[in-house]
Amino acid sequence: MKLSTMKVLSDEEIAAVNDATIDILENCGVKILSKKMLDFLADQKLEVNRDKQVVKFSRTLLEELIASVPAQIELFDQRGKSAFIIGDGTPKIAAGHNAVFWLDSITGETRNSTVADVEKFARICDGLDVIDMIGIPVMPQNIPFANATLLYGAKAVIENSTKPIYFSTDRQDVNKSIIEMLKTVFAGDLKNQAYGISQLSPTSPLFWEDSVLEAIMDTINCGVPLAILPEPIAGLSAPYTLAGLVTMNNAECISGIAMAQLLKKGAKVLYANSWTTANMQNCAALVGSAETTLCRIAGAQMAKFYGIPCHTTAPNSDNHVHDEQNAWEKTFSMFCAQSAGNDLIVNCGMFATGMTCSHEQLIMDAEISGFAQQICKGIKVDKNTIACELIKAIGPHGDSYLTTEHTMEYLHSDEYYQPIASVNGPRGSWVNSGSKDSYLISKEVAGKLDNLTKNTLTKEKFEKLGVIINNFKGNS
């Protein structure tokens, strides 16, 4: 059987968070800084206070809108072929996204990220079976127009992998241009088939900025799935208690999901979260803490209560180097995210509280993700796997199982995870191969995968992506 789903909230506690959420949205409301959205919500007969720019949602309306969210989202690759389904019970893993710095493989120093870093990152992702989707890993800093940095990152990913794309911005114009890029290269019908997911976020506590709201309207209109991802910080922009943090996230997320469903009933949305606690001694935001990992489990439970596909971030670490802290924070966050049943988990390749990436970290995170997947998959138990007849046939002190048909049958099955960056042989073999640690092995694996994937875009599509960026630069 599969590993039991991890839980931290009882049914009564989930109901209490839901009741508090409805109370907040019904009697306090959220601030809406877009006149266009305010007008739309007023037309939908919501309670709108134009002087305070606050909108309130009734319990009846919220329950109706939540019920209209699709339980699954099918994703397609660049060629228009079905890639996977979010919400089918198997967590999907995405790399990236939106860091700034890069830990250089050659110098070992952290530096500004470049377009070339993103290109290599995408090629490596394309060769990693465990990576289902690619977020834009960084906003490359070596470009001529700062406002277009995410566009250059998106272009680099699109040109170097056919896997589905995950992207996030707080600017309507950037969001719109990336969607235009997806349309340009996608072989399917973007209006009805999802090749990318746009992540858009409220600002805590309880308000939505103008550009983000208008980006939501654009995204829903284009048929692109939307991840509503609040980022409240415990003790700073949300209550310090974990239950208060969960409730704040829930209220902000549900308000965004409700607006998306008002724009289009049945719009594809994800219940998302990127909880942050704070080191109250220096006010540093933390994403790799034990408490944020607890909330990853709570978030999955709330999403399942509503019947909505969910996304969280992992594997996360707050350390700035590849070390043991990095490993344990990432392992706990990824394992708990998967075992709680989150449908899409984004952040492979990142560390330093999401500010830095490296190609080696991407490989190590893929390894962590693979181990977590294997554990969560559990043990298959049936007559053949129990192998009672084989055990009796071999008998006490019998022949080796090495050459039996049963061993041959399962040798290349998914019964065992095949590590890609782990040291798993005798010391002599390890010494003879150079005494490499997991970082050096990851560096070698990254280099090999980088050489396997090449740009597959036609010259026409390649040039059209450049035109989109040039047109954007003209408007910036």
**Residue 434 resides in a domain:** no
Task: Supply the pLDDT for residue 473.
Answer: 73
**Residue 188 resides in a domain:** yes
Task: Supply the pLDDT for residue 1.
Answer: 83
Task: Supply the pLDDT for residue 475.
Answer: 65
Ranges in the chain, pLDDT < 50: none
Enter the pTM of the model: 0.95
d(CA 38, CA 195): 30
Question: How far is CA 162 from its chain centroid?
Answer: 17
Torsion-angle region of 29 (φ positive above 0: left; ψ -120 to 50: alpha; else: beta): left
**Residue 37 resides in a domain:** no
**Residue 355 resides in a domain:** yes
Q: Length of the chain, please?
A: 476
* AA identity, residue 96: G
Which two tokens mark 143? Answer: 């470009």
**Residue 154 resides in a domain:** yes
Residues 6+ apart with CB under 8 A from 389: none
d(CA 286, CA 168): 20
Q: Find the CATH number of the domain harbouring 155.
A: 3.20.20.480
Task: Supply the pLDDT for residue 452.
Answer: 83
252 by Cβ neighbours in 10 Å (0-12 / 13-18 / 19+) ranks as buried
Task: Supply the pLDDT for residue 371.
Answer: 97
Q: Is the dihedral of CA 57, 61, 66, 69 positive or negative?
A: negative
**Residue 2 resides in a domain:** no
Task: Supply the pLDDT for residue 474.
Answer: 62
Task: Supply the pLDDT for residue 425.
Answer: 87
The angle at the Cα of 423, spanning 420 to 429, to the nearest 5 degrees, equals 120
**Residue 266 resides in a domain:** yes
CB 103 within 8 A of CB 110: yes
Owning domain of residue 96: 67-377
**Residue 101 resides in a domain:** yes
Distance (Å) of CA 369 to CA 20, 24, 224, 379, 420: 34, 36, 27, 18, 11
How many structural domains comprise the chain? Answer: 1
Task: Supply the pLDDT for residue 476.
Answer: 55
